[in-house]
């Protein structure tokens, strides 16, 4: 498999894995909810993720980032995952996808 094809496949699998994770209080996956700010697949197949939570005192603040890391590290080809939890900029509804807004009746 060409290197470009391998990278594209891994990037696609990363997004798919993240879309399988749901905020327990909101029936929308965390990708469409806008909690994932950045996903970078580095040359050495290290995945760097920058994410946030709906609020800093979210009841799953320790669980959700770990779930993201655990799902991504299982993807074939990923060597390591570094996740940075940030609260600047703070999350708000404008970060949600159109699909998420529709699901939640905000459109």
pLDDT tens per residue across span 84-93: 999 999 999 9
* pLDDT band with cut points at 50, 70 and 90 for residue 76: very high
* pLDDT band with cut points at 50, 70 and 90 for residue 59: confident
Average pLDDT over residues 39-66: 91
Mean pLDDT over each residue of the chain, to the nearest integer:
92
Share of the chain above pLDDT 90, in %: 77
What are the boundaries of each domain within the chain? 3-103
**Cβ neighbours of 61 (radius 10 Å):** 12
CATH architecture of 3-103: 2-Layer Sandwich (3.30)
Per-residue pLDDT at 24: 83
Per-residue pLDDT at 71: 97
Distance from C-alpha of 24 to C-alpha of 3, rounded to nearest angstrom: 37
Average pLDDT over residues 1-10: 85
Q: Which residues pair with 51 in a beta bridge?
A: 36, 85
Share of the chain above pLDDT 70, in %: 98
Distance from C-alpha of 65 to C-alpha of 67, rounded to nearest angstrom: 5
In the three-class reduction of DSSP (H, G, I as helix; E, B as strand; rest coil), residue 73 is classed as: helix
Across 35-99, the runs of DSSP E, i.e. the strands, are: 36-41, 46-51, 80-85
CB hemisphere CA count around 85 (13 angstroms): 16
Distance from C-alpha of 81 to C-alpha of 22, rounded to nearest angstrom: 19
């Amino acid at each position: 498999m060409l290197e470009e094809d391998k990278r594209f496949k891994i990037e696609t699998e990363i997004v798919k894995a993240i879309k399988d994770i749901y905020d327990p209080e909101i029936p929308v996956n965390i990708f469409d909810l806008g909690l994932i700010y950045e996903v970078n697949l580095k040359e050495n197949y290290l995945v760097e993720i920058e994410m946030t939570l709906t609020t800093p005192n979210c009841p799953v603040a320790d669980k959700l980032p770990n779930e993201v890391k655990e799902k991504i590290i299982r993807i074939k080809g990923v060597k390591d995952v570094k996740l940075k939890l940030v609260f600047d900029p703070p999350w708000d509804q404008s970060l949600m996808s159109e699909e998420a807004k529709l699901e939640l009746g905000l459109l």
